[in-house]
Chain A
Amino acid sequence: MTDPKISVRNLYKIFGEEPQAALAHAKAGMDKAQLLDEHRHVLGLRDINVDMASGEITVIMGLSGSGKSTLIRHLNRLIDPTDGQVIVDGEDIMSYSDSALRGLRRKKMSMVFQKFALLPHRTVLENAGTPMIVDGAKRAEWEKEATRWLDRVGLEGQGPQYPHQLSGGMQQRVGIARALTSNSDIMLMDEAFSALDPLIRTDMQDLLIELQRELQKTVVFITHDLDEALKLADHLVILKDGEVVQQGEPQHILMNPNDPYIVDFISDINRARVLRARTVMTEGTDDPGGLSGEVDENATLEDVIAKADGDTRLSFRVTRNGTPVGTLPMTDVVKALVPTAASEDGMRQAS
């Protein structure tokens, strides 16, 4: 694996009067509740180690209070950690001066916010041009870039409007155009689609996937919605109470949850829609005979079932870009739909 674009190392964040004193307790293994009870400090993040690869979408998922928004704000130092490092392109940004930090925020990282955070007194065009205006670009320059990205996200001709004249979905498109105008490699998205209604959210997810295919940015996406996480993630990080519970390839996490918390989390999802052929298939190129067709490795199990017309006696060949990589019997498909056994003693039943 090549060097990660962003690398978070042993990150701790403690909120309170004397975080350094509380840090020692946290490092000694005191848990969140105890730290709050005995020392009046809130443990925000504990020993976070995450690598975010260039050109991938890393999704950080967790319920509210799990520290995911705190974590993403460490990446551009909107929040300073109590201890640990954040390394971007090989440089520890904790050592940055104010002006170096501003440079990082202007050129390398842009951010999309849950409640859009557009400037209400500026037009859509000016909002989209904000990163370049901040950086001192000439009007002609930023107008061109901003118009280009507004067009790209589907807001042709909305430039002279004010944000409050647009719907929520359109406002967030402005938010995304604004992040793209900065021409940064890294996009931080803090629950960017959580405030939108479900249909528009799906549209926006598709837009993001489409943009990502085109632009290959390093995207860090925060969400509390597992379906959204599974749809977008190349790399999934699951946070609970400020700690990473499990991280890895989302399909892998689905098949091998290592914590009752995650089992509980994934027990509600439609597995047929998120699991893919490559996850369930038996690898190997030899032909066992009796195959009734081909499916792409990225086809969801739902697609496969539809293709088999519900007949469990069939088997399919799985292909990657047209070349065979494995076989997929329908019986395996059906087995994969049964939630992981551990979910029987998941947290919800236990509590």
Chain B
Amino acid sequence: MATYDWIFDTLGLRGWCGGDGEGGGSAPMSMADLMAQSSGEAPETSLWDTPFPSMDALNDACASFPQSRELTRGLERGFLDIKDWLSYVLDPLTQPLSWALRNALDLFQTVPWWLMIPILGLIVLGISRSFKLMAFVVGSFALLAFIDYYDYAMQTLAIIFVCAVICVALGVPIGIAMSRSDRLQAGMIPVLDMLQTLPPFVYLIPLIFLFSVTEPKLYGIAIILYAIVPVIRLTNLGIRLVDKEVIEAADAFGMTKRQKLYGVQIPLALPNIMAGVNQTIMMSLAMVVIASLVSAPGLGVLVLRGIRNLELGVGLISGLGIVLLAVILDRSTKAALARVNAAQKH
């Protein structure tokens, strides 16, 4: 006899359970059942050992009650049932992502190093106005190229470039919409919290079901979902933090909503938005390493190789390469942020 027989007996559900109240039936046996069966006696239960009325414990009492493994299995089955339909909808929608990633990867790798490194240096100079930073960036890429990690670094950079651009293009409008509607904000915050705290590996599982592993969008979507959160959050926050009196002044001089958005709110929220972009780039870099598990090329592949084959040197050097990339991206965006801040202190 199981502990919770009485529940089903008092509720008059014994018939539904299929008779005598002994566990078993068609459902798979639990380990405890198996032990009990092999030792030939029912497990002894004192009050101290009373199990929580969990799904498994209730299944002991009533065979028709589902076991907890049915829950995960049900979820899995449910997902598999809608999978075809989902990928039918999502596949064409996300196709441009694959296209963009492939082209970016091509572009970053076909441009010769003697053109690419100076271009990157000039971009950094343009956004930071700092020769020191430019020298650091050029030196870092030269170093990576010298140890033959240039191609991998470019692949990683290409992926981050595409994903960060898409994150900003989607995240800023979402953030603006959130700042305008308290209801949307209340709805979005739990979603953003979940995206940010869900372990990154978990994103990959449903994506593997949905898309072919050879498609770049598989890792593209994973990176975007993970990295888009800060830019949304900080755009929303930045616009909400714009001085109320300045907004009032904008209204008092008869600005339209559009004039207010482009002329006042976005410019004044720019330091926060830029901070969000910086975070988004750093998070896509973190995710691009994990995404190498699902065929994302770049330095992450080398890290993975290091782990898989216990090649300490490869793992370490590629890890340091990622650190170097992170420092480059962080310093460049921070320098841009500092310039925006300096232009509009209050």
In the complex, chain B residues 299-346 whose Cβ is within 8 Å of any chain A Cβ: 343-346
**Chain B neighbourhood of A111, CB < 8 A:** 249, 252-253
Interchain CB contact under 8 A, B254 and A135: yes
For residue A131, CB closer than 8 A to chain B, the reply is yes
Interchain CB contact under 8 A, A121 and B246: no
The docked-state distance in angstroms from the alpha carbon of A101 to that of B344 is 30
- Our pick among A106, A115, A120, A121 for the contact of B253 (Cβ within 8 Å) is A106
In the complex, chain A residues 134-169 whose Cβ is within 8 Å of any chain B Cβ: 134-135, 162, 164
**A113 to B: closest C-beta gap in Å:** 6
For residue B162, CB closer than 8 A to chain A, the reply is no
Interchain CB contact under 8 A, B254 and A105: yes
**Chain B neighbourhood of A101, CB < 8 A:** 254
Chain B binding surface, main DSSP class: helix
For residue B24, CB closer than 8 A to chain A, the reply is no
| Residue from A78, A134, A178 having most chain B Cβ neighbours under 10 A | A134
For residue A130, CB closer than 8 A to chain B, the reply is yes
For residue A334, CB closer than 8 A to chain B, the reply is no
For residue B205, CB closer than 8 A to chain A, the reply is no
For residue B38, CB closer than 8 A to chain A, the reply is no
The docked-state distance in angstroms from the alpha carbon of A216 to that of B45 is 95
Interface size on A, residues (CB 8 A): 28
For residue B259, CB closer than 8 A to chain A, the reply is yes
Knowing A106-B254, A134-B259 touch, does A164 contact B345 (C-beta < 8 A)?
yes
Interchain CB contact under 8 A, A113 and B268: no
For residue B182, CB closer than 8 A to chain A, the reply is no
Interchain CB contact under 8 A, A121 and B343: yes
**B84 to A: closest C-beta gap in Å:** 48
Interchain CB contact under 8 A, B256 and A102: yes
Q: Which interface class (under 10, 10 to 19, 20 to 34, 35 or more) fits B? A: 20 to 34
Interchain CB contact under 8 A, B254 and A115: no
In the complex, chain A residues 86-144 whose Cβ is within 8 Å of any chain B Cβ: 101-106, 109-111, 113-115, 117-121, 130-131, 134-135
- Our pick among B243, B253, B346 for the contact of A182 (Cβ within 8 Å) is B253
- Our pick among A105, A109, A117 for the contact of B246 (Cβ within 8 Å) is A117
**Chain B neighbourhood of A188, CB < 8 A:** 252
Knowing A120-B345, A120-B346, A121-B344 touch, does A76 contact B267 (C-beta < 8 A)?
no
The docked-state distance in angstroms from the alpha carbon of A322 to that of B253 is 44
Taken residue by residue from 251 to 263, chain B's Cβ proximity to chain A (1 for < 8 Å, 0 otherwise) reads as 1111110010001
**Chain A neighbourhood of B252, CB < 8 A:** 76, 78, 105, 109-111, 188
For residue B193, CB closer than 8 A to chain A, the reply is no
| Residue from A78, A117, A162 having most chain B Cβ neighbours under 10 A | A117
**Chain A neighbourhood of B148, CB < 8 A:** none
For residue B245, CB closer than 8 A to chain A, the reply is yes
Residue of B nearest to A114 (CB): B245
**Chain B neighbourhood of A76, CB < 8 A:** 252
**B305 to A: closest C-beta gap in Å:** 48
The docked-state distance in angstroms from the alpha carbon of A45 to that of B254 is 25
For residue B248, CB closer than 8 A to chain A, the reply is yes
Residue of A nearest to B243 (CB): A117
**B274 to A: closest C-beta gap in Å:** 13
| Residue from B246, B264, B343 having most chain A Cβ neighbours under 10 A | B246
Interchain CB contact under 8 A, B344 and A134: no
- Our pick among A78, A109, A113, A119 for the contact of B264 (Cβ within 8 Å) is A119
The docked-state distance in angstroms from the alpha carbon of A45 to that of B192 is 42
**B344 to A: closest C-beta gap in Å:** 4
In the complex, chain A residues 184-229 whose Cβ is within 8 Å of any chain B Cβ: 188
Residue of B nearest to A108 (CB): B254
Interchain CB contact under 8 A, A78 and B255: no
**Chain A neighbourhood of B249, CB < 8 A:** 111, 113, 117-119
Interchain CB contact under 8 A, A130 and B345: no
Interchain CB contact under 8 A, B248 and A117: yes
Interchain CB contact under 8 A, B246 and A134: no
Residue of B nearest to A136 (CB): B259
**7 pairs of A and B residues whose beta carbons are closest in the complex:** A105-B254, A106-B254, A117-B249, A111-B252, A102-B254, A117-B245, A121-B344
The chain A residues found within 8 Å of chain B, CB to CB, are 76, 78, 101-106, 109-111, 113-115, 117-121, 130-131, 134-135, 162, 164, 178, 182, 188
Interchain residue pairs with CB less than 8 A apart (14): A78-B252, A102-B254, A102-B255, A103-B254, A105-B252, A106-B254, A110-B253, A119-B249, A121-B344, A130-B253, A134-B253, A164-B344, A164-B345, A182-B253
Given A119-B246, A130-B253, 9 more A-B residue pairs with CB atoms under 8 Å apart are: A106-B254, A111-B252, A117-B249, A118-B246, A120-B346, A121-B268, A134-B253, A164-B345, A182-B253
